[in-house]
Structure 1
Amino acid sequence: MDPQEIFAKRADDPLAALAAQDLDPFSVDELQARIVLLEAEIVRVRRKLESAVNHRASADALFNR
């Protein structure tokens, strides 16, 4: 899926603002810290996704879909 399609859905999406941010002013240390934070966010989103998939599978099993 194209990121622009995702961002177009919500005008106030902070991820859209983050992706559009100019990285030139940041130092190497700031960029490395940003990567650490983004990797932590990826882990958080993956956990939520896994939870949602498991929840859906449990509901499907319960209702014999």
Structure 2
Amino acid sequence: MKASTTRVGIVIGAVLALSWVAFGFWAFVFVAFAMAVGAIVGRIIDGKLNVNEMVDVFRGKRSSS
């Protein structure tokens, strides 16, 4: 069974809420940051995120499209 985006969102929200309640605000910020980094790494590994294009965006270069 494939997880729907709604279920994934619920799990992410629950993890963030529990980290805030159990460990405080800064732990919540750290967990949110770690989840974002993990999502970016996962997209790079899956080939859904081109690192070179992302670097060009941060450098202010325009795409050809």
TM-score (norm 2): 0.43
Greater relative contact order, per chain length (Cα 8 Å cut-off, separation 6+): 2
Of the two, which has the highest radius of gyration?
A: 1
TM-score (norm 1): 0.43
